[in-house]
Amino acid sequence: MPLKIISYNLNGIRSALSKGFAEWLSENHFDIVCVQETKAQPDQIDHSVFESLGYHHCWHSAEKKGYSGVATFSKIAPDNIIVGCGEPRFDSEGRILRTDYGDLTVLNCYFPSGTTGDVRQAVKMEFLDYFFNWVHELRKERPNLIIVGDYNIAHQEIDIHDPKGNKNSSGFLPEERAWMTQWFDSSFIDAFRYKHPEKVEYSWWTFRAGARGKNKGWRIDYQSVSEPIANKILDAGQYTQVVHSDHCPVWMEIDL
């Protein structure tokens, strides 16, 4: 039976709930929902909202309140939950949450942003290096991997509305794009590009200047699938009309 997996940067789960996020979930069937940038501690959320919809839930919040954080909701109870990646400077920011379902491992990830300046850009690049090596070690133990989340990088020119104007912008820097190329050359498949090599869809729009209405966006949210199960991808895309955040949900159907 196919699995439908959603990844969604909510830019604050409490804000998204106030804008109808739970109602939207109730109107659709998603097997696994991975959300990023929860900006909340678990005790700040009414869990019954999700439990009433049949979701098991687990959380990895940042130590700093109102910042970062990821949460995974699934109709299937995970066999195993691992919080973080074992690196304190990243784990303190609530960036990675692993759930296992039989032979399948899902990593729900919120990559750092470098838009606030050189210090955070350096942290982002350090995270990318660490993450690459960590995942490739994990893959030896858990070869069937799906790695979803806000990668905070637009990979190719097709993934950003103004590639020339943003060539020096964090999120589209040459070294970030090179990392993405290395990532997808290392036995991981971009689910959306696998099914739609030439299609232009975005997953994030700045709140400024009516960018979403003009579709001046970036595709920075991804679902990476390890090679052994990539041929099981049925379809993938962005729910561009769904608005609870400055991002939209990205989705994938996979028949394992």
Catalytic residue list: 150
H/E stretch holding 101: strand 96-101
Structure token digits, residue 164: 């020339």
Alpha helix segments (H runs only) across 154-195: 174-184, 191-195
List the beta bridge partners of residue 155.
none
- 99 by Cβ neighbours in 10 Å (0-12 / 13-18 / 19+) ranks as buried
Angstrom distance (rounded) from CA 21 to CA 128: 30
Closest CA to 7 of 99, 130, 125: 99
Angstrom distance (rounded) from CA 233 to CA 140: 21
Residue reference for tokens 């990895």? 60
Distances from the Cα of 39 to the Cα of 35, 75, 124, 177, 218, angstroms: 11, 23, 19, 27, 22
List the beta bridge partners of residue 252.
5, 236
Give the alpha-carbon dihedral of 104, 236, 73, 222, to 10 degrees.
80
